[in-house]
Chains A and B, each alone.
Chain A
Amino acid sequence: MEATPMISFKHVNKIYDNGTVGLKDINFDIPHGEFLVVVGLSGAGKSTLLRTINRMHEITSGEIRIEDEAISQYKGRSLRLLRRKIGMIFQNFNLVKRSSVAKNVLSGRVSYYPTWKSILGLFSADDRQKAVQSLHRVNLAEKLYARADELSGGQQQRVAIARTLMQDPKIILADEPIASLDPLTTKTVMDILKRLNREDGITVIVNLHSVALAREYADRIVGLRAGEVVYDEPIAKVTEANLNQVYQAG
């Protein structure tokens, strides 16, 4: 018997209100602990696909199952509990720039606390320690008390990863995490994601523009074109030539 996949897309369609097709009959499974890279041109639906997994975008029809549970009916608290186990990394880091690194990292933990404790900042000593450890894992422990906007782009993205680690995520979604970074910090950030995938067994799904990076880090590459899966190969079978077909016009 095959183990149940972490994430499973079944006939997923997304049509925007204005009639634009966002996703078209998406069908594939993502097993536990996979490092999946999604490639495709801008507007191919990579971001939409990623955001359907934590319901930041709703789908029009079909079904998405996470750990064998259909997620489309989740509301309120159950939706927040779903999001708690799915970390998300963004192209623009999305830190609160005027807040300290510590506060940004701890904010990843708020869904484990009742509202009043979050608002008063009453985090347990364990969780404060956990924040330091999370920063340590991205090699930024010394920046704990710095303000987020004092950091470079690469450092901000590492803080964002530390924030995600506070959630104890089973899945990390990374939407163009390195699009605003230079080549050197790109490698640092991608290496950290790969390490979390290998050491913690976190399922990682990354949207990338760069085919070279995709080939370097992925266990498997999925290609999207106009909302459709046009490519899906394990890394062993990926070649320059067949991957390039993702970027060829329809």
Chain B
Amino acid sequence: MMTQVPRRPWTQRWHVKPIGWTVLMVGLLIASSRMTGVDVAMFFGNLGQFTELLVRMSQPAWDYLPVILNPLYETIQMAILGTTIGAVFAVPFAVLAASNLVHNRWLRGGIRLILDLVRTLPDLLLAAIFVAIFGIGSTAGVVTLAIFSFGMVSKLFYEVIETIDMGPLEAMESVGANPLVIIWYAVLPQILNQFVSYFLYTLEINVRASTVLGYLGAGGIGVFLQRSLNEFNYSQTAVIILATLVVVMVIDGISNHLRRVLL
């Protein structure tokens, strides 16, 4: 005997929704490339210049490596310092921005507005401002990275907090713990490993970002990257990029390892 299956409505039978969304998305893509004047033909036409650049970068000047080791080291220090300062300040803000912990909509909205504002400021603008304030050097770079990481990490953190199991919080509340103790005992253990993972992810981004910040005189390897590019010395550029790649890969490896260990 056949089991009676209810008939699907025609919108489901003809996949109206998925098709509609796909058409809309493709349409928007085409429209936005028209409006912003992106010329796909030009991209493919000038691809030759790009390959030429790659060819010139394909012979890294390895003797340049000792020169950049110190600035690279400085870059890593800047990134670690900036990320740490930013992440430390991000924790209380993330807690206050999490909708499952703070039920006062105005407080939460205010905190999120501040975080949005911080994230809106481009890191290059921040770097320019802080180079003007602190002068050329790594202090400006560290402050820039700290603020940049703060904005990014606090958003990642509060999104993690919003996914936790609320059961232990209820239990700690029923025990008679105050809010700070509840967060310490019931929230932090649940999010610690994801915090570490996001911290390292931000550190990795900051290593890459600080190479660009060097352009504005904010210290680190970026100064040398800018110099080599200005001198069209692409074999030196290649060494800098490869060295940065190694650093990023090492951080990535540490991150993967820690996530496994902490899980």
Contacts and interface: CB of A to CB of B under 8 A. Distances in A.
Q: Do A and B come from one complex?
A: yes
Interface in B164-193: 165, 167-168, 170-178, 180-181, 184-186, 189-190, 192-193
Contacts of B170: 56, 90, 94
Contacts of B184: 118-119
Given A80-B177, A103-B185, A107-B177, 4 more contacts: A87-B174, A94-B171, A99-B189, A119-B181
Interface in A87-136: 87-88, 90, 92-99, 103, 107-108, 110-111, 115, 118-119
A163 B189 contact: no
Nearest to B184: A119
Interface of A: 54, 56, 79-84, 86-88, 90, 92-99, 103, 107-108, 110-111, 115, 118-119, 160, 163, 167
28 contacts: A56-B174, A80-B176, A83-B173, A83-B175, A83-B176, A84-B176, A87-B174, A88-B171, A88-B174, A90-B167, A92-B167, A93-B167, A96-B168, A96-B186, A96-B190, A99-B185, A99-B189, A107-B177, A110-B175, A110-B176, A110-B181, A111-B175, A115-B180, A118-B181, A119-B184, A163-B175, A167-B175, A167-B176
Contact of B175 (A84, A96, A97): A84
Contact of B176 (A81, A95, A96): A81
A96 B172 CA distance: 10
A190 B174 CA distance: 21
A89 B171 CA distance: 8
B235 to A, nearest CB: 49
Nearest to B192: A98
Interface in B135-164: none
Contacts of B176: 79-84, 110-111, 167
Nearest to A107: B185
A97 B189 CA distance: 9
A3 to B, nearest CB: 26
Q: Among B176, B178, B186, B190, which residue has the most Cβ atoms of chain A within 10 A?
A: B176
Interface residues of B, number: 21
A84 B185 CA distance: 16
B262 to A, nearest CB: 9
Given A111-B175, A118-B181, A98 B190 contact: yes
A168 B163 CA distance: 32
Nearest to B179: A115
A102 to B, nearest CB: 13
A93 B167 CA distance: 8
Interface in B105-125: none
B177 A110 contact: yes
Contacts of A97: 165
A160 B170 CA distance: 13
A94 to B, nearest CB: 4
Given A96-B189, A115-B180, A118-B184, A83 B167 contact: no
Contacts of B189: 96, 98-99
B181 A115 contact: yes
B171 A54 contact: no
Contacts of B168: 94-96
A7 to B, nearest CB: 16
B81 to A, nearest CB: 26
Contacts of B177: 80, 107, 110-111, 118
A215 B181 CA distance: 39
B232 to A, nearest CB: 54
Q: Nearest 8 pairs between A and B by C-beta?
A: A111-B176, A94-B167, A83-B176, A94-B171, A84-B176, A88-B174, A80-B176, A96-B168
